[in-house]
Structure 1
Amino acid sequence: MRIDIMTLFPDSLDAMLNVSILGRAQQRGYIAIQSHQIRQYTTNKQMQVDDYPYGGGRGAIMQADPLYRCWSHIVETYGPGRTIFLSPCGRTFTQSVARELKERYDHLILVCGHYEGVDQRFLDACVDEEISMGDFVLTGGEIPAMAVTDAVCRMVPGVLPDAECFEEESHWNGLLEYPQYSRPAEWHGRQVPEILLSGDHGKVAAWRKKESYKRTMERRPDLFARFDESQLTTKAEKKILAEAKAEFAAEHPACGDAESAGT
């Protein structure tokens, strides 16, 4: 997996993406992440990349030509890739979108906007899609670019020790992750659930699944309402879900039964 990021602030990206897990994965050759300074592709001495918007209005717009020159250099040097503009006007980024990008493409080109926007002609000519972090606006595209890069790259084989490292986490299967505990067994009078100290891996797995259901019902009823119960193929799996619903209803009587969660 290769990810090229077009930005005005490469140092801020490099400081985060070249350390820890992603840094080690790059050293081992599993992924390649490179930031590109858009200002290096200007044709003026001031290295100016923005100008006033046609039609008037406040602020400035990133010009199409420096962006195009930077994009062209990436494509000519590293080959074509899925070009994504990080924008509040795009589809919302989710775990399923991250999986889609990882599974369908081996090269992503992320474009970080700034100022009041980007010349639409560059977007029309070079961008394949726009992606948003949610219904809010940020100063620039660097934070979204780091989020997309991290979410996609951590699923590349070899980046994490085992697929279970991300398949057990929140949103992978449409649920939130179960609660986690570590040593000591008692902290400030709070105990680790006894089942986790039992050594019975089957019971631990069942408890974690049940807690995952209950946490999703409580915190994200919208997610639980979309959970596809038909994927549960064994009696044991169906029993765990039924127990989770019953326990949730008993613990949260004001919320009504779990069947109506999210409605």
Structure 2
Amino acid sequence: MDGRSGMTASKIRFDVLTLFPEMFHGFLHSSIIKKAHEKGLVETSLINFRDFSTDKHRTVDDTPYGGGGGMVLKPEPLFRAVDHLLNGVDTRPPVLLMSPQGQPFTQRKAEELARHSHLIIICGHYEGYDERIRRHLATDEISIGDYVLTGGELPAMVIIDSVARLIPGVLGNETSAASDSFSTGLLEYPHYTRPAEFRGYRVPDVLLSGHHQRIETWRRQQALRRTWERRPDLLKTAPLTEEDRAYLRELESRAARDE
């Protein structure tokens, strides 16, 4: 599976290049990710790229040319590590560079990555990467937000979790991923469960009606309302029907009257 067919892969392998593989142990051995590994749907290999350094001191970083503070990751260990992972591989997988300079990670990007059966993820540390890693090794630079972290390990876990749950069979309910926030282009509608009344707060009557069409209409409208209130920017690109647009115009009209 090379990611070009538009279909989600049936299983996926993550190769993670990191200086701190121990950071992943709890994450990989817990909850849904643990079960996905046990089912053979997800495989994760943790590679300490210090093992691919070229000197006896196992050096992976050096001071930047031109001066300045901090240390920069050297190209040799990472290029050698990726070469090792690609040995015998027919189709080159995406090589993801965790970087605050990268494109923002979104559900759409997760869906794109889930079409591949193999991903390589590079976790950085120190001041940054030698530019040759960005230009000639990585295929994608990804950021999980506009803030600074100590290294790329936490972003890598976010990507593994987000992508793995899209693989068929990873989630117990196959409809869950399809209805999650952002999967439809909208935020998710509210959920309720038993009891029907708790401390005077009742579940909306429509959810107790058993009328499936009314329930689906209510859920769609609630998703539209929540997105309109909290993330109106998403409505610019969300796939909307004419009924959706009419409901949004109604919301805007009500808001204008209430001002």
Q: TM-score range by the shorter chain?
A: 0.7 to 0.9
CA deviation string 1:84-122 (max 9, x = no partner): 11112221111111111112x221101011100011223
Matched, 1:113 2:116: no
Say which of 205, 218, 221 aligns to 2:229.
218
| Higher helix residue share | 1
CA distance in 2 between counterparts of 1:113 and 1:242 reads 47
Q: Is the 8 A contact 2:95 2:119 kept in 1?
A: yes
Does residue 63 of the first structure (1) align with residue 74 of the second (2)? yes
Looking at structure 2, the residues matched to 127 and 156 of structure 1 have their Cα atoms a distance apart, in angstroms, of 24
The answer as to whether partners of 1:42 and 1:48 remain within 8 angstroms in 2 is yes
- Residue identity opposite 2:256 in structure 1: P
Gaps of 5+ in 1: 233-237, 257-263
TM-score, reference length from structure 1: 0.86
- TM-superposed CA distance for 1:255, in Å, is 8.6
- Mapping of 1:87-236 within 5 angstroms? 87-103=99-115, 105-229=116-240, 232=241
Q: C-alpha displacement at 1:32, in angstroms?
A: 1.0
CA contact (8 A) 1:14 1:35 kept: no
C-alpha displacement at 1:195, in angstroms?
1.3
Name the count of aligned residue pairs: 247
CA separation in 1, counterparts of 2:31 and 2:89?
25
Aligned to 2:114, what secondary structure does the other structure show? helix
CA distance in 2, matches of 1:255, 1:226: 27
| TM-score normalised over the length of structure 2 | 0.87
Distance in 2 (CA, whole Å) between partners of 1:245 and 1:148 is 36
CA distance in 2, matches of 1:217, 1:208: 14
Contact 2:32/2:170, CA 8 A, preserved across alignment = yes
Q: Go from structure 1 to structure 2 and tell me whether the alpha carbon gap of 1:34 and 1:40 turns closer, same or farther (over 3 Å shift).
A: same
- Rounded to whole Å, the distance in 1 between the matches of 2:28 and 2:108 is 22
Match of 1:84, SS state, is strand
Q: How far off its partner does 1:148 sit? A: 1.2
Q: Which SS does the other structure have where 1:25 is aligned?
A: helix
CA distance, structure 2, for counterparts of residue 227 and residue 122 of structure 1: 35
Identity percentage of aligned residues: 40
Q: Structure 1 residues 65, 57: closer, same or farther in 2, change over 3 A?
A: same
- The aligned amino acid for 2:105 is F
How far 1:208 sits from its partner (Å)? 0.6
Specify which structure has the bigger relative contact order, considering alpha-carbon pairs within 8 angstroms and separated by 6 or more residues.
Answer: 2
Residue 261 of structure 1 corresponds to none
Partner of residue 36 from structure 2, selected from 25, 47, 64: 25
Equivalent-residue separation in structure 2 for 1:125 and 1:93 (angstroms): 21
- State the alpha-carbon separation in 1 of the partners of residues 236 and 29 from structure 2: 39
Aligned residue number for residue 81 of structure 1? 93
Aligned-pair distance for 1:152?
1.0
Unaligned runs of 5+ in 2: 1-11
